[in-house]
Structure 1
């Protein structure tokens, strides 16, 4: 579950420039719904005993947005996530896309570079990231899906695309370069017709005040201030 407006809900906080009640967003991460339905035969039963969809149940309870993770390969690849995004978008829900920039899970303990990407140098990796970002957003646009919120990385407190983009000893240089490339990919997609999403940075340990406040300043050379939301997970 996630909210905008610096509210703590189910261990997550999104710091937003919006403070009015109208800006409040209520949502759930439903990334695994299709996998559960196809591989486990999951069914969704309402409190009245009716078999329905999970989005109908949660929508009746006030959900207006759906968070979806996307990997560069594996279970949550583009084809899988785009199909799920189409389903929820057609049902009237806003889409929050969580980019992992990895072939598998990306979190504070692992942020692997996709196997197919050129990791010869930070320059070649940045080029691959920028191209991937543009093509991915274009695929969603071509599929009729508008991205409302876009997280460039998942729990990237110590960077992403390790080891190249890992933050070590307060050295944010390579990470800032890579994040800027991802952000430029968004700009490229918007120039090609994608509706501009609200860009987000997502870190963990939101309770760590010092980490939370030094992060934007240390990444300033990469123009990471070109974001709207600063999302913090609290576990």
Structure 2
């Protein structure tokens, strides 16, 4: 029995991701920027940003849809137009249903005004019919999405108050309502498809997600991909993100997508609109708010997600929301274009990450062992890096359960040593037995066995 468990576990560790890595950009703001005078350049030559995104390695365009917004942007007509442009250059479409007339996020999930007074049964029918209508329109113009997201940052549900599930509403009745809303939304999407059509359903929260996704999936909601946002000013370090991905992936065994992210190239401003990010305290210690800092952040983020067993990809949010004389932008210092509309170097990180991040040919992860072995209660995990690399170390029990994760860090080349004190992630002492540790550096990894005696 031990032999089969161990073989199965090592096979699990050796699995490679078969999904295409998502190099995405959310271009929902583009039409409004362009129609208010926004122009984009590469080396001083005016360009179509969608075409240049494709040329630089982007493979997916995320587009949000609002039900009946006050302006003619992000409505169905606008989405159909942008979808056509994205499809014409060969980008996959990632449709983001907000089920609102305006921004939907963890603090607000306002119903469309047209649905405000509907009873719950009629609301569910409206969600289904609307979802069906949107997908049908996209399909009829040959721009069927590859991904469809049901709600945006639905940490506490959607279509409040009917689908609100936080605080005093965290009860069976409200979760049942949220289940019905999700089921009708997904049924509306799927009912627009023919037998040969395929797409993947995404659920999205701002961060964390174990509580929300656990309840959602236990109720039988058919979700293909779990997604989170990652903005360092709100969601912490890259190590925090890696732990979040690990926690979701290990619990639910589903791919994890970073549906939104961004980083500043400056803390300065170019218009009279207050920027969302403008203080040193809002950025990561290791990444300055400079063009180089933005490049390094995005490079390391893509590397982290790609090297994680569950990481599916990232979508950079509003890389095109530059400010114009007619249209201010609170996001102008987090775009992938400078204040003159010139393309920034950070876009180049997408060039070679379509399938995987390639390691330098002479990179080696060598001389891996732990001592003492057997041990009680401390052992030293030893390894050599031939070059600088991001390193992740994980300890598993013999059944494949994660026992301890060490911080995911960028380490200099040379001989390295990490101590494990036979405690789990909760600080509790673990029982005697066989444990397996996995050391990942770049796109290389090795697993070894160690024995804890007591």
Shorter-chain TM range is 0.7 to 0.9
Q: Could you tell me which residue of structure 2 aligns to residue 77 of structure 1?
A: 75
- Deviation, 1:68, is 0.5
Q: Which of 226, 233, 249 is the aligned partner of 1:230?
A: 226
* Change over 3 Å in CA distance of 1:22–1:116 after alignment to 2: closer
Aligned to 2:110, the other structure's residue is in SS state: coil
Q: Structure 1 unaligned runs (5+)? A: 1-17
Distance 1:99 1:84 in 2: 15
- Quote the residue 2:87 is aligned against: 89
Match for residue 217 of structure 1 among 194, 197, 214: 214
1:220 Cα deviation from its structure 2 partner: 4.0
Asked if 1:189 corresponds to 2:192, the answer is yes
Structure 1 position 23, deviation (Å): 1.8
Measure, in 2, the Cα distance between the counterparts of 1:195 and 1:139: 14
| 1:133-172 equivalence runs, <5 A | 133-168=131-166, 169=168, 170-171=170-171, 172=175
Q: 1:60 aligns with which of 55, 59, 63?
A: 55
Q: What is the CA deviation profile of residues 103-123 of structure 1, one whole-angstrom value per residue up to 9, with x for unaligned ones?
A: 111111111111112643221
Give the Cα separation in 1 of the matches to 2:220 and 2:67. 24
Within 2, Cα distance between the matches of 1:190 and 1:21? 24
CA gap of 1:159–1:19, structure 2 versus 1, over 3 A, is farther
| 8 Å contact kept, 2:54–2:89 | no
Give 1 or 2: higher strand fraction: 2
Residue 200 (structure 1) aligned with residue 199 (structure 2): no
2:22 to 21, 25, 37: 25
Which residue of 27, 35, 39 maps to 1:38? Answer: 35
**Structure number with higher relative contact order (C-alpha < 8 Å, ≥ 6 residues apart):** 1
Asked if the contact 2:63/2:93 (under 8 Å) is kept, the reply is yes
Q: Which runs of 4+ in 1 moved over 4 A?
A: none
Q: Is the CA contact (8 Å cut-off) linking 1:176 and 1:221 kept in structure 2?
A: no
Aligned equivalent of 2:250: none
Q: Deviations over 1:116-147 (max 9, x none)?
A: 12643221111110010101100101122120
- Measure the CA separation in 2 of the matches of 1:155 and 1:194: 30
Tell whether the 8 Å contact from 2:22 to 2:60 is kept in structure 1 after alignment. Answer: yes
What's the offset of the Cα at 1:194?
Answer: 8.3
Task: Please give the secondary structure, in 1, of the residue aligned with 2:157.
Answer: coil
Q: Is the 8 A contact 1:141 1:194 kept in 2?
A: no
The answer to whether the 8 A contact 1:199-1:227 is kept is yes
Tell me if structure 2 keeps the 8 A contact 1:138–1:194: no
Q: Distance in 1 between matches of 2:220 and 2:187?
A: 10
Q: Structure 1 length normalisation: TM-score?
A: 0.83
Q: How far apart, CA to CA, are the structure 2 residues paired with 1:50 and 1:102?
A: 38
Q: Return the TM-score normalized by structure 2.
A: 0.44
Contact 2:94 2:145 in 1 (8 A): yes
Q: Which runs of 5+ in 2 are unaligned?
A: 1-14, 232-454
Quote the Cα distance in structure 2 between the aligned partners of 1:195 and 1:131: 19
Equivalenced residue count is 209
Distance 2:99 2:29 in 1: 18
Question: Which entry has the higher C-alpha Rg, 1 or 2?
Answer: 2
Kept in 1, the 8 Å contact 2:149–2:201? The answer is yes
Cα distance in 2 between the residues matched to 1:118 and 1:111: 12
Contact 1:180 1:223 in 2 (8 A): no
Map Cα deviations across residues 169-206 of structure 1 (whole Å, 9 max, x no partner): 42322111111110111221125x7833110000012x
1:102-141, aligned counterparts within 5 Å?
A: 102-117=100-115, 119-141=117-139
